[in-house]
Amino acid sequence: MSIVVTGATGHLGRHVIEQLLEKVAADQITAVVRTPEKAADFAARGVRIAVADYNAPETFDGLFAADDKVLLISGNEFDKGRVGQHRVVIDAAKAAGVALLAYTSAPGSLTAALADDHRATEEVLLASGVPYSLLRNGWYHENYTEQLAPVLEHNAVVAAAGEGRISSASRADYAAAAAAVLTGEGHENTTYELGGDVAWSFAEYAATLSELTGKEIAYNAVSAEALVGILTGVGVPETFATILAGVDQSIEKGELVVSTGDLSRLAGHPTTPLSEAITAALKG
């Protein structure tokens, strides 16, 4: 039996591998990557490396074995048909007879277009008959803390989310939950709604940034249309800018507040406070 992680050198995948290395022997972990050079550090620590690509179904032939536990980390190539990419992994997992396939999805409450591929993937997974665990990940702190440069340059947080709140958490928090599911028992055919312990608004985010930087940073609430214009103006493709604006509209409706407590319960610790994530990002 191996624990297999797809997208293992991505932002979330790296955290998952690190969390797994704290729980099981390295040779029980298989990191699935497109570019093996990016996984050289994992290989040096004894992690098995498998080379496969969502866009090349044949590369998944024989990759999984019976009784493997697999984490399918959702792809980020929005223009390449993510549901079809995910189906490649699900089909290979079904053919191998894996013990569990966990999938990083989106909160069940999220109606924004961003969630469409996740809902469709969930349908494919449930129809496959493979034992599943839906890890419906909420928003990541890093979605904001990795984009601080323009905020600090203009002393403004700009969003189309009104007074909506977000219960975000760090990637490491979500990775800890995934590792718990992959190494634990009794997670077959489960759905976990995952979010941070504390919800916050963009006004509070701006106030926290002001406090931590000593600068006066304002929250500028704009319309979704205005946000699309701002994002395309700095080079974001219009399709993706529209998706991001749609997420902000969902935030305004409260759709990214996840209050189940599933994340901290699975991770085994309280989720990382936003202020802590901002502090780490400011230190660079």
Per-residue pLDDT tens over the stretch 38-82: 999 999 999 999 999 999 999 999 999 999 999 999 987 766 689
Q: What is the pLDDT of residue 273?
A: 97
Model confidence over 88-114: pLDDT tens digits? 999 999 999 999 999 999 999 999 999
The pLDDT assigned to 1 comes to 77
pLDDT of the residue at 124? 98
- Tokens linked to 272: 């990382």
133-183 pLDDT, tens digit each = 999 999 999 999 999 999 999 999 999 999 999 999 999 999 999 999 999
pLDDT grade, residue 272 (50/70/90)? very high
Q: Which helix (H) or strand (E) holds 243?
A: helix 238-252
* Residue 170 CB coordination number (10 Å): 22
Over 105-122, what HEC string results?
ECCCCCCCHHHHHHHHHH
pLDDT of residue 207: 97
Q: What is the pLDDT of residue 77?
A: 74
What pLDDT is recorded for position 277? Answer: 97
pLDDT on residue 125: 98
Where are the alpha helices (H) located in 146-201, listed in sequence order?
Answer: 148-154, 171-183
Task: Check whether 284 has a pLDDT greater than 90.
Answer: no
Mean pLDDT of 252-262: 97
Q: What is the mean pLDDT of residues 129-134?
A: 98
Residues 105/134, Cβ–Cβ less than 8 Å: yes
- What is the mean pLDDT of the segment spanning 112-131? 96
81 Rama sector, left if φ>0, alpha if ψ -120 to 50, beta otherwise = left
pLDDT at res. 81: 85
Cα–Cα dist 91/88, whole Å = 5
Question: How confident is residue 258, by pLDDT bands cut at 50, 70 and 90?
Answer: very high
What's the whole-number average pLDDT of the chain?
96
Q: Report how far residue 88's alpha carbon sits from residue 215's, in angstroms, rounded to the nearest whole number.
A: 49
